[in-house]
């Protein structure tokens, strides 16, 4: 369906529960060839190793500036013949050279209904603002932070007694369901981008029947 190879890289900075959801998806997991983190202590790296997937650390501190870190990241993905990239809790801004190497082929997961609450503290910000509904967004990464065309969204209701932990827990449940589905559509070449609008094409009939 797509002329891009489906080899997938996952970038993650933290615990990696979303990486786990991707690895556990039978249509996505086998395509993950490398997991990269900016933090050597990220549990995501251990999860990758436990699955026999290459785990690589690419630390900003090891590079003189943001642009050279970005290039190093791009080069390590290109060396591994990666076709697509999933940001699963990657807490850094992805630079222009990496984005240019994977046009419309990088997906980000964000714990709010963009364009509300962009940035690194979306769950805290939503609670502090007092919204009654927040949610999850999966979007294509472009040059602006938390800005690219939206692939999938799902609301999560905020409860009266929610704190960051409880709300984050319910957001995670939604993420673990919708992120693998979106990444699967990406690597199967089923995302058609028209300006800001993304059409997610249906799966092939034979697969549904199979």
The catalytic residues are 110
Q: Interface with ligand GAR includes 2 (CB under 6 A)?
A: no
Q: Interface with ligand GAR includes 11 (CB under 6 A)?
A: no
Among 92, 105, 110, 181, binds ligand GAR (CB under 6 A): 110
Among 22, 88, 98, 114, binds ligand GAR (CB under 6 A): 88
Nearest to 167, CA basis, from 115, 118, 119, 130: 130
Nearest to 7, CA basis, from 79, 109, 93, 110: 79
Among 23, 33, 109, 182, binds ligand GAR (CB under 6 A): 109
By beta-carbon proximity to ligand GAR, the closer residue of 43 and 72 is 43
Task: Give the residue nearest to ligand GAR (CB).
Answer: 89
CA atoms of 199 and 196, how far apart (whole Å): 10
Q: Which DSSP letter does residue 15 get?
A: -
Which residues, in sequence order, are CB contacts of 28 under 8 Å at separation 6+? 8, 22, 180, 183, 184, 187
Residue 131 C-beta: closest distance to ligand GAR, Å: 16
Q: Which stretch binds ligand GAR (CB under 6 A): 12-20, 154-162, 188-196, 202-210?
A: 12-20
Q: Interface with ligand GAR includes 17 (CB under 6 A)?
A: yes
Long-range contacts, 65-68 (Cβ 8 Å, 24+): 66/95, 67/95, 67/97
Q: Interface with ligand GAR includes 175 (CB under 6 A)?
A: yes
Q: Interface with ligand GAR includes 14 (CB under 6 A)?
A: yes
Q: Which stretch binds ligand GAR (CB under 6 A): 2-10, 61-69, 77-85, 104-112?
A: 104-112
Alpha helices in the chain (DSSP H): 17-24, 43-50, 66-79, 96-101, 122-129, 164-187, 205-209
Among 2, 4, 7, 15, binds ligand GAR (CB under 6 A): 15
By beta-carbon proximity to ligand GAR, the closer residue of 66 and 207 is 66
**3-state secondary structure at position 167:** helix
Alpha-carbon Rg for the chain in angstroms = 17
Site for ligand GAR in 117-146 (CB under 6 A): 120, 122
Residue 115 has which token pair?
């364009």
Binding site for ligand GAR (CB under 6 A): 12, 14-18, 88-89, 91, 109-111, 120, 122, 171-172, 175
């Amino acid at each position: 369906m797509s002329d891009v190879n489906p080899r997938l890289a996952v970038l993650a900075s933290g615990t990696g529960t979303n990486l786990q959801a991707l690895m556990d998806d039978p249509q996505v997991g086998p395509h993950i060839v490398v997991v990269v983190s900016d933090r050597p202590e990220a549990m995501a790296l251990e999860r990758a190793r436990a699955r026999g997937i290459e785990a690589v650390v690419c630390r900003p501190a090891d590079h003189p500036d943001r642009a050279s870190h970005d290039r190093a990241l791009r080069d390590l993905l290109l060396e591994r013949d990666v076709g697509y990239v999933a940001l699963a809790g990657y807490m850094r801004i992805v630079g222009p050279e990496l984005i240019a190497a994977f046009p419309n082929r990088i997906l980000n997961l964000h714990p709010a209904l963009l364009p509300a609450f962009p940035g690194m503290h979306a769950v805290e910000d939503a609670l502090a603002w007092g919204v009654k509904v927040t949610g999850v967004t999966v979007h294509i990464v472009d040059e602006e932070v938390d800005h690219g065309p939206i692939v999938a969204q799902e609301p999560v209701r905020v409860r009266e007694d929610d704190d960051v932990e409880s709300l984050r827990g319910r957001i995670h449940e939604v993420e673990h369901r919708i992120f693998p589905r979106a990444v699967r559509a990406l690597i199967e070449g089923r995302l058609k981008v028209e300006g800001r609008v993304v059409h997610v094409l249906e799966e092939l009939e034979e697969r549904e029947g199979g």
